[in-house]
A and B are shown apart, each in its own frame.
Chain A
Amino acid sequence: MGSQGGFGQSKEFLDLIKSIGEARSKAEEDRIVLHEIETLKRRITEPDIPKRKMKEYIIRLVYVEMLGHDASFGYIHAVKMTHDDNIHLKRTGYLAVTLFLNEDHDLIILIVNTIQKDLKSDNYLVVCAALNVVCKLINEETIPAVLPQVVELLGHQKEAVRKKAVMALHRFYQRAPSSVNHLISNFRKKLCDNDPGVMGATLCPLYDLITIDVNAYKDLVASFASILKQVAERRLPKSYDYHQMPAPFIQIKLLKILALLGSGDKKASEQMYTIIGDIMRKCDSTSNIGNAVLYECICCISSIHPNPKLLESAADAIAKFLKSDSHNLKYLGIDALGRLIKLSPEIAEQHQLAVIDCLEDPDDTLKRKTFELLYKMTKSSNVEVIVDRMIDYMININDSHYKTEIASRCVELAEQFAPSNQWFIQTMNRVFEHAGDLVNPKVAHNLMRLIAEGFGEEDDTADSQLRSSAVESYLRIVVEPKLPSTFLQVICWVLGEYGTADGKYSASYITGKLCDVAEAYSTDDTVKAYAISALMKIYSFEIAAGRKVDVLPECQSFIEELLASHSTDLQQRAYELQAILGLDANVATNIMPMDASCEDIEIDRSLSFLNSYVQQSIEKGAQPYIPEGERSGMTDVSSFRSQELHEVSSHALRFEAYELPKPVMPSRVSPIEQSSSNELVPAPEPSYHAEMHQVASSVPSVSDTGSLELKLKLDGVQRKWGRPTYSSAAPSTSNADIPKIQNGAPQLDAVSSSSSKAVSYDSRRQQVEISAEKQKLAASLFGGTSKSHKRQSSGSQKVPKTNIPAAEKSHVAKNATSDTAVLERTPQPPPDLLDLDESTVSSSAQSLDPFKQLEGLLDLNQDTSTLTTSDASASGAPDVMSLYGETTLNVQSGGVPNLLPAGRDEANLLSGLAGTPNRDGHGENTVTNPTQQLNKGPNAKESLEKDALVRQLGVTPTGQNPNLFRDLLG
């Protein structure tokens, strides 16, 4: 079976694959593929192509498409092939269409008929092939065409068919729940299927159904628990075992379902406790799959109604994960810790150093996971450290998706737990500076509002201090290049409102800065609008204060530029500014009062002051106003205006229909507006003016609407994890523990254990070389190292069982001093030889790395063809050997057949290579190595055979990749 029988394709196709394999660059590969596409386009339309040939063309199309090129010209041929009666061809056709087409493709309609026919076939393999296609391609419209047949197949005598029918029905449910709603009871029935494969497949749809509606399936809790029990007791056929675990994939699925069913339901949870406990005890924590089940158990435990005993064993498992050397397990440990922390916050403290290690790990994935954990355990006492760290990390990442997430988390934490306004503003500044374009604009408005309102406290001096510190920090930041637009808007607004408030900076200094901003970001109209509004405020404050305004030349030119701007919004602002410059102090105070952005403003929504004017106009024969509701479909000024606001910079004609008018947000119009229009200051039209001011003061009004969700919550900080006393509880609980210990365990024992604990802890500390800095970090994150010491020791005394981990720890520490701890602690590779243990993975990679370093040598070898020298050195250095192997292969592909036997030898050595660095590098593998190599014997032989076969076919492996012949599992 398999490749031994030849690859079964034509020389032409093999050549194609070979040339793709040897392509040295993406461009070369693309060229080859494009050429292939041309060939196929020509060939496939020829008349009377033999079917076998056609089949190969289709496979070639699949190959082309797999490499990322468009093969849509051949889709129709694949569809045609599905109609063939020969299963051989039909299967190829089906495979191709599932790979080519998406569920909404037009050609699907041409396959439905064939599928219908095949679902009725006597041959169950044909039915299976059709069901595979059904799962991929049947869409909402075509479901009814096949549904009756699929339902019928649920009772098919072959379990493979039943299983696929269940999956197909599941897929239908995902696509269009309404179409199969009446059939959902079938899933329940299939749970009792005789075949474990069908039962296992049924768990997938049931999991989805239970996620949507838990209550409808509460009656199944006992069934699921008993199935899980049977699985764990190895009642399923042996073939479902995986690495000595009984049907672990089914166990995991069941645990997921139980987690849903037991969530917040004490009665249901009680039915699960025993079996979950059993599974946790039985889990083999040396294999990956054992740990996968263990992790799923922890997830389940943290989701169902809490049980102290299970929580304890979950905590033990987490401790094991975190202490492991495998990054995967550490990652899971951190994740599990994040889940469990909701139920028992104190367990995080035991692992503080492990957490900090993970935080500083070079592995980005682990780091991110740790940030997620920190996010979950933030409270007012550690918010500064955590947010600080998050921002530091955020600055250096490029992935905008994650950056957005972490920025919004920073904002959320800062808003929720901020210890002081000063800190909050500084933090926000940093977030904006580095991720300003990614955060919600509401956040910016909130920040402006905060600065304006000063937390609503009565202490005016504190508020003004806050403002001047904000101004100062912004003046510092604003000179930096490339600030995000949102942040610049905040800066401009704050400088405009408060730049001159404390008299520290002169108006000309601030206006100069604002002009610099506007000039530096001259493409951003919003920033320019903010800048000119800020200028206007500063000038009117100056006028109001009775000082003479001297407009700087650059300001003057900026204003002039805007006076001629294409954007009407900017132009208007500029004209208004010009108008204000000509006013006297009294009027200016009225138009732009100091620090009035947060004043409450009464709105005259009916615009009653215009009544007389309206009356006059109607008398003169003007059309009366038609209310908004009555003129739907008509273009209306307000929608146009709001449009204008959003797209200040676009002047092009719109070709699409205008949106229906939205109700205008109730915006606060300042009383000055009314006064200005009533008192008839020489100002532009009143409506215009109102609009302008709305823009200028849109900040507070918008933040007003958003304030409900995003408001700073400074009270009730500790609420987050539902334990209101938590932040102060840590010392008190440890105090409460101590009497318990004295009651429970003999005094002497407790003392000795605690002292041994202390020793082990110390030695461990030395070994890991925990710097004072890290300690400090731990203290700030978890609330004091001394306290944590106490907590740890009290934890070890609390239950006699925990003495064992303590002893273990000291054991580990001892080993660590002898420099082998790292190796000692790696879990022994499981006896299953197929399993690639972590260490062998790393060693095989190590055997590669030096090879990479030596890659430069390769060219040398090729050029000077000093094959013999490298041969001589081969016995000494296996890495060079692999190089040599590669060289010969290359040469051979260049057409030197004499070297063939040499090439074979090379291949032989190559396959033996994997073991060599093991012995060199790590001592710990010496025991397992012989067996591994024994296992490798036949593999090497087989790969040699394969090698020879490939050569006969005229296909040589690529020069780049000596590993092609390496067994994937070897």
Chain B
Amino acid sequence: MIHFVLLISRQGKVRLTKWYSPYPQKERTKVIRELSGLILPRGPKLCNFVEWRGFKVVYRRYASLYFCMCINQDDNELEILEIIHHYVEILDRYFGSVCELDLIFNFHKAYYILDELLIAGELQESSKKTVARHIAAQDSLVETAKEQASSLSNIIAEATK
């Protein structure tokens, strides 16, 4: 099971956090600090795994962004590494060659996508296409909802003029 997902930049700035196991706010800050100290200084040729508090943290670096996932001792590290990549590929498809700025400004969208990929700390969908389709459906629904809302407010504005 995945306990949490973290996106940290090379400077240690948090870009996204998702907690599947309960961690109080104070603990979260501590975890992030500890893990940035552990992961960010690691050289490029070393393992993509670190042992931490009896768990394993799998991380992967894309440009200047680190994607980290914390898993149990008996989970398959390489699989998690590929789940991270799977997520990045989906992000890439969604944003169109994704870069860190996309995630900085659209972090809520990154959350929506993550929710389609992982649920309760387990991989729920391994088909890129299915995830993409689902997200697209949500987006279009939101668009229509927005339009309706704006037309509604127009009507109201008209009426109250």
| Chain A residues packing against B (C-beta within 8 Å) | 1-4, 7, 9, 14, 17, 20-21, 29, 51, 59, 62-63, 65-68, 70, 86-88, 91-92, 95, 98-99, 102-104, 123, 125, 128, 132, 135-136, 160, 163-164, 167, 170-171, 174, 196-197, 200-201, 204, 237, 239-240, 242-243, 247-250, 252, 256, 288-289, 291-292, 295-296, 299, 327-328, 330-332, 362-366, 368, 399, 401-402, 834-836, 841-842, 844-846, 848, 938-939, 942-943, 946, 950, 957, 960-961, 963-970
Q: What are 30 pairs between A and B in contact, CB < 8 Å?
A: A1-B95, A1-B136, A2-B102, A2-B106, A66-B16, A95-B112, A102-B24, A123-B141, A163-B124, A171-B120, A197-B124, A197-B125, A201-B125, A247-B126, A249-B79, A288-B81, A365-B50, A365-B51, A399-B52, A834-B89, A835-B85, A845-B61, A942-B97, A943-B99, A963-B63, A964-B64, A966-B63, A966-B100, A968-B98, A970-B97
- Residues of chain A within 8 A of B62, CB atoms compared: 836, 968-969
Residues A9 and B105 in contact, CB atoms below 8 Å apart: yes
Q: Say whether B98 contacts A967, CB under 8 Å.
A: yes
Q: Which residues of B contact A91 (CB under 8 A)?
A: 112, 138, 142
Nearest neighbor of A245 in chain B, beta-carbon distance: B82
**Contacts of B67-109 to chain A: CB distance below 8 A:** 76-79, 81-83, 85-86, 88-89, 91-92, 94-102, 104-109
A125-B138, A135-B119, A296-B76 known; A87 vs B51 contact (CB < 8 Å): no
Contact A21 B13 (CB under 8 A): yes
Of the residues A98, A331, A846, contact of B77 by C-beta under 8 Å: A331
Q: Which residue of A lies closest to B130 (CB)?
A: A197
Distance (Å) between the CB of B1 and the closest chain A CB?
A: 9
For the complex, give the distance between the alpha carbons of A965 and B134 in Å: 27
CB of A249 within 8 A of CB of B89, answer no
A885 to B109: give the CA distance in the assembly, Å. Answer: 29
Sort A-B residue pairs by CB-CB distance and give the 5 closest, nearest first.
Answer: A292-B78, A963-B64, A968-B62, A239-B129, A845-B44
| B126 and A964 contact, CB distance less than 8 A | no
Distance between Cα atoms of A364 and B53 in the complex (Å):
15
Contacts of B146 in A (CB 8 A): 88
- B76 lies within 8 A of A292 (CB): yes
**Which chain A residue has the least Cβ–Cβ distance from B78?**
A292
For residues 29 through 55 of chain B, which have their beta carbon under 8 Å from a beta carbon of chain A?
29, 32, 43-54
Q: How many residues on the B side are at the interface (Cβ–Cβ under 8 A)? A: 84
B97 A167 Cβ-Cβ under 8 A = no
Which listed residue (A29, A170, A295, A967) contacts B99, Cβ 8 A? A967
**Contacting residues, chain B, for A248 (C-beta < 8 A):** 79, 82, 126
**Across-interface contacts of B48 in A (CB, < 8 A):** 327-328
Contact A17 B104 (CB under 8 A): yes
**Which listed residue (B18, B47, B85, B94) contacts A328, Cβ 8 A?**
B47
Q: Which residue of B lies closest to A252 (CB)?
A: B79
Q: Is the CB of B82 within 8 A of A240?
A: no
- Which residue of A59, A136, A249, A970 has the most chain B CB atoms within 10 A of its CB atom? A249
When distances are taken between beta carbons in the complex, the residues of chain A under 8 Å from B108 are 59, 62, 92, 95
A939 to B102, CA, bound (A): 14
User: Are A167 and B124 neighbours in the complex by a CB distance under 8 Å?
Assistant: yes
Given contacts A330-B47, A363-B46, A968-B92, 5 further A-B contacts (CB under 8 A): A249-B82, A252-B76, A292-B82, A364-B50, A402-B51
The residue on B at minimum CB distance from A936 is B97
CB of B155 closer than 8 Å to a CB of A: no
Residues of B within 8 A of A160 (CB): 130, 134
Give complex CA distance A125, B112 in Å. Answer: 12
Give the Cβ gap from B121 to chain A, nearest Cβ, in Å: 9
Docked-complex contact B142 and A17, CB < 8 angstroms: no
Q: Kindly state the separation between the CA atoms of A957 and B13 in the bound complex, as whole angstroms.
A: 14
A28 to chain B, nearest CB (A): 12
Return chain B residues, CB-CB under 8 Å to A102.
Answer: 22, 24
- Interface digits, B115-156 against A, CB 8 Å rule (1 contact, 0 not)? 100011011111111100010111101100110110000000
Cβ–Cβ < 8 Å partners of A250 in chain B: 126
- Per a CB cutoff under 8 Å, which of B24, B65, B136 touches A968? B65
- Are B128 and A969 in contact, CB atoms less than 8 angstroms apart? no
**Which of chain B's residues has its CB closest to A969's CB?**
B92
Query: Closest residue to A163 on the B side, CB-wise?
Result: B124
A856–chain B nearest beta-carbon distance, Å: 17
Q: How far is the CA of A170 from the CA of B122 in the complex (A)?
A: 10
Contact call A99/B111, Cβ cutoff below 8 A: yes
The answer to whether B63 and A968 touch across the interface, beta carbons within 8 angstroms, is: yes
Contact between chains at B82 and A961 (CB < 8 Å): no
**Within the complex, which residue of B45, B88, B105, B139 is in contact with A1, where a contact is CB–CB below 8 Å?**
B139
B3 at the binding interface (Cβ < 8 Å)? no
**Which residues on the B side are within 8 Å of A171 (C-beta)?**
120
Query: How far, in Å, is B80 (CB) from chain A's closest CB?
Result: 9
Distance between Cα atoms of A13 and B125 in the complex (Å): 33
| Given A102-B22, A295-B76, CB of A841 within 8 Å of CB of B14 | no
Q: Are B82 and A242 in contact (CB under 8 A)?
A: yes
Residues in chain A near residue B109, CB distance under 8 A: 2
A87–B95 touching, CB < 8 Å: no
Residues of B within 8 A of A942 (CB): 96-97
Which residues on A sit within 8 Å (CB–CB) of B139?
1
CB atoms of B138 and A327 under 8 A apart: no
Q: In the complex, what residue of chain A is closest to B109 when comparing beta carbons?
A: A2
- A645 to B109 alpha-carbon distance, docked (Å): 59
Q: Which residues from chain B contact A99 at a C-beta distance below 8 Å?
A: 18, 111
Residue of B nearest to A372 (CB): B51
CA gap between A239 and B129 in the complex, in Å: 6
Give the CA-CA distance A961 to B49 in the complex, in Å.
25
Asked if A946 and B99 sit within 8 Å, CB to CB, the answer is yes
Contacts of A399 in B (CB 8 A): 52
Q: How far is the CA of A84 from the CA of B10 in the complex (A)?
A: 39
The complex places the Cα of A291 from the Cα of B78 at a distance, in Å, of: 7
Report if A328-B96 is in contact (Cβ < 8 Å); known contacts: A9-B105, A91-B138, A401-B54. Answer: no
A364 to B47, CA, bound (A): 9
Confirm or deny: B11 has a beta carbon within 8 angstroms of a beta carbon on chain A. yes
Known contacts: A249-B83, A331-B77. The answer to whether A969 contacts B51 by CB under 8 A is: no
Contacting residues, chain A, for B105 (C-beta < 8 A): 3, 7, 9, 14, 17
Q: Which of A91, A250, A296, A365: most chain B Cβ within 10 A?
A: A365
**A243: chain B residues within 8 A (beta carbon):** 82
| CB pair A3 B83 closer than 8 Å | no
Tell me the complex Cα distance, A7–B101, Å: 10
Does B160 sit within 8 A of A, measured CB to CB?
Answer: no
- Inter-chain CA distance A330–B78, complex, in Å, is 12
B30 to chain A, nearest CB (A): 9
In the complex with contacts A7-B105, A332-B77, A967-B63, A842-B45 CB distance below 8 A:
yes
Question: Which chain B residue shows the least CB distance to A939?
Answer: B97
A965 to B98: give the CA distance in the assembly, Å. 9
The chain A residue sitting closest to B31, CB to CB, is A68
By a CB distance below 8 angstroms, the chain A residues around B78 are 288-289, 291-292, 295, 328, 332
Report yes or no: A164 in contact with B100, Cβ–Cβ below 8 A. no
B45 touches which of A7, A65, A327 (Cβ 8 Å)? A327
A239 is contacted by which of B25, B49, B120, B130 (Cβ under 8 Å)? Answer: B130
Across the interface, B111 reaches (CB within 8 A) one of A86, A95, A128, A200, namely A95
Which of A17, A95, A163, A964 has the most C-beta atoms of chain B within 10 angstroms of its own C-beta? A964
Tell me, rounded to whole Å, the shortest Cβ–Cβ distance linking B136 to chain A: 8
Residues of B within 8 A of A968 (CB): 62-63, 65, 88, 91-92, 98-100
Which of A2, A247, A844 is the one whose CB lies under 8 Å from B63? A844
Residues of chain B within 8 A of A368, CB atoms compared = 51
Residues of chain B lying within 8 A (CB to CB) of residue A14: 105
CB pair A242–B126 under 8 Å, yes or no, is: yes
**Cβ–Cβ < 8 Å partners of B96 in chain A:** 1-4, 942
B138 to A: closest C-beta gap in Å: 6
Known: A292-B81, A327-B46, A967-B99. A960 touches B11 (CB 8 A): yes
- Determine the chain A residues whose CB is within 8 A of the CB of B129 once the complex forms: 239
What are the residues of chain A within 8 A of B77 when measuring CB–CB?
Answer: 328, 331-332
Are B119 and A68 touching (Cβ within 8 A)?
Answer: no
Q: Check A86–B145 contact: CB distance below 8 A.
A: yes
